[in-house]
Amino acid sequence: MMNPEKIPLWRNAKFINIFLQGILIIFLVLLLAILTNNLSNNFQQLGLTFGFNFILDPDLNSRFDIGDSPIPYQATDPYSRALLVGLLNSLRVMISGIILAFILGVIIGLGRLSNNWLIRKISTFYVEIIRNTPLLLQLFFWYSVVFLKLPKIDKPLIFFDSVFLSNQGLYLPWPMGNLQTFLAALFLIIIPIFGVIIWKKNDQNIIQQGINNKLYLILLIILIILVIFLIIWGLDWQIPQYERQLKTIQGGLTLSPEFATLLVGLTVYTAAFIAEVIRAGIQSVSQGQWEAAKSLGLSSGLIMRFVIFPQALRVIIPPLTSEFLNLAKNSSLGSAVAYRDIYAVASTISNQTGKSLEMLLIVMITYLTINLIISTGMNWLNRLVQIKEN
């Protein structure tokens, strides 16, 4: 019986892989040690110390104002409160921007595929103009050319006697925090759940019998009417009112020009990229799928709903995740228009205390955490829409 020839180590693929990975780990450890030592020496030369205790120290006041704050805040509050306000400001512009950019992106993306020549050209013009100009430039445009040029507070633009627009911000009706609003909001959460259940039942009925069940359609219409009724009359709205003596607008929701600029800029910019993602995803489905669905007698709406869109989602969601992540990271450009987000607040604290490294780490960890949450949610959605093979 012949003994198998022993492979020398320098030709053993398994050994070579382990050896190269070991070299890489040693290199990274040495690099980290050099950077840490360099940082430590710089701290000693500058007489600085590293630590985060100053953030929670109640005796250290932030000593700066934040004009746009969703929670009560004063310049005498500690740094932890200022950072919390910055974080909330970042989150509200990110969440609002993602929702609005997705809606606008879908509309523009479908417009790019429209058979109507004018709608298709307008959508194309929008995408090419917005996508090929820097976001920072667009933010300056929205801030200095649009929002700061609006009428003064004593002569605001008024829409339906409830929406005010001036160079000091946008004033919108907002639900009051009372029992009536709470109950209406509770029903507004429950009703869509029933709507999804009925919608799925209707889908199953269409797939099995090929026709819409009128009972399901009637139930969906009733739920939509209930939602409209609850939004208009169920919620106890607080309408903004102009006080002539004080020359200010009281009540409702106030959006500062800085917040409005950042939200509109991020929405318009990101929607142009999302539109291309939607268009490319729908066009990735082969023409044969359209023709096969038409041969079965399905309408255009049913073809899109049951054949094209489920297949396009597998192509749409991964790049859509990247666009959501880009919007979250681009929100840090709000400091260019004086919007007090987490980055701007951390920069101010860094200038006051000299804790540049600590503030930089806080900002990096904040954006990293937010983006990991977005990625996790979108990956879960991506797995949900994947076609499962038995």
Distance, CA of 257 to CA of 104 (rounded, Å): 21
Query: What is residue 292's predicted lDDT score, i.e. its pLDDT?
Result: 85
Query: What is residue 98's predicted lDDT score, i.e. its pLDDT?
Result: 96
Query: What is residue 296's predicted lDDT score, i.e. its pLDDT?
Result: 78
Comparing CA positions, the residue from 268, 271, 386 lying closest to residue 317 is 386
What distances in angstroms separate CA 125 from CA 53, 70, 275, 357, one per listed residue? 52, 37, 12, 44
**Sequence-ordered alpha helix ranges (H) in 47-78:** 53-56
- Burial of 13: CB neighbours in 10 Å, binned 0-12, 13-18, 19+: exposed
79 sits in which H/E element: helix 79-112
Each residue's pLDDT expressed in tens, for the chain with a length of 390 residues: 455 667 777 788 888 899 999 999 999 999 999 999 998 888 888 888 888 888 888 888 888 888 888 889 998 899 999 999 999 999 999 999 999 999 999 999 999 988 899 999 999 999 999 999 999 999 999 999 998 888 888 888 888 888 888 888 888 888 888 888 999 999 999 999 999 898 888 888 877 776 667 788 888 899 999 999 999 888 888 888 888 777 788 888 888 999 999 999 999 999 999 999 999 999 988 888 888 888 877 777 778 878 888 888 888 999 999 999 999 999 999 988 999 999 999 999 999 988 888 999 999 999 999 999 999 999 999 888 776 665
Copy the structure tokens of residue 64.
């700066």
The amino acid occupying position 228 is: I
Location of structure tokens 């633009």 = 157
pTM of structure: 0.85
Q: CB atoms < 10 A from the CB of 230, how many?
A: 17
Query: What is residue 307's predicted lDDT score, i.e. its pLDDT?
Result: 83
Distance, CA of 76 to CA of 82 (rounded, Å): 10
Distance, CA of 340 to CA of 70 (rounded, Å): 11
Classified as helix, coil or strand, 175 is strand
**Tally of helices (H runs) and strands (E runs) in the chain:** 13, 8
All residues at 6 or more sequence positions from 386 whose CB lies less than 8 Å from its CB, including other chains: 314
